Structure 1
Amino acid sequence: MTAKRVLVVDDASLMRAYYRQALERAGYVVDEALNGLEALEKILVQPFDLAIVDVNMPQMDGITFIKTLRGKDLPTSAVAVLVTSTEAKDRDILGARMAGANYYLTKPISQETLIEHVVLLCGAA
């Protein structure tokens, strides 16, 4: 059985490293993207089981990424999406859900909480 593949989409290198460490330790294969545009390019080239997406990023923000991903009539539109953001207002969470996010976590996020939600959304590694 192949390990589950997770794409971490965040413009902050520290966040990407934090997520990568937790995910790889849990057995997931991890790739990274700096923004939604780069994430779309990667998802079109290789399959992922989950995308962990920040909201505020340059070039293409997380919400636009999700809307674009969900709007395409491709197998990639079924990729599970976990949004992580410092934005914690109801309208932010609702906006992400309406765009097609599967779940929304507010930063800071413990590595344990991250892994729990990753397992729920795409299964164990």
Structure 2
Amino acid sequence: MTNAAHGKRILVVDDGMTTRLYYRSVFEAAGFAVDEAANGLEGLERALLDRFDLLIVDVNMPKMDGYAMIARLRGDSAMQAVPIVTISTEAEGRDADRAYEAGADLYLVKPATPAQLVETAKLLTGVVA
């Protein structure tokens, strides 16, 4: 399902269906191909089984939280170079610290604007605007 002009793929991992649909619409409108996972465990499996150029990961999820998912991915040599952005309602500095310690490349606080999401995705995937 690659309708992306630049061929970049994003995996969105969030337990909120509405949030996943929002991210999908924003990223697809900007030319990205988007896949989804509804929790950290599903996200971990999808990320390890397929190739993605960027992961957007919620922090608070059932089955496996975003911190644990990212730490597990960073333990896999093939996943060490894939950019991971965490997006959470948690605005405390310690939450961002935990995300960076787990291996996230960027920590955003919800709600992230469409412009912020697209700019971040383009920057981290090397898409020239």
**When the two structures are superposed, what TM-score results if normalisation uses the length of structure 2?**
0.91
Deviant stretches of 4+, over 3 Å: none
- Paired residue for 2:90? 87
Letter paired with 2:84: V
Unaligned 5+ segments in structure 2 are: none
Unaligned 5+ segments in structure 1 are: none
Does structure 1 residue 56 correspond to structure 2 residue 42? no
Q: Is the 8 A contact 1:47 1:76 kept in 2?
A: no
Aligned length: 124
Q: Is the 8 A contact 2:52 2:82 kept in 1?
A: yes
- Paired residue for 2:24? 20
Backbone CA RMSD of aligned residues: 1.4
**When the two structures are superposed, what TM-score results if normalisation uses the length of structure 1?**
0.94
- Paired residue for 1:98? 101
- Using CA pairs below 8 Å that are at least 6 residues apart, which structure has the higher relative contact order? 1
Deviation at 1:42, TM superposition (A): 0.9
Post-superposition CA distance 1:27-65 (Å, at most 9, x none): 001000011111111112210010000000000000000
- Paired residue for 2:36? 32
**What is the aligned-residue identity percentage?**
51
Letter paired with 1:100: G
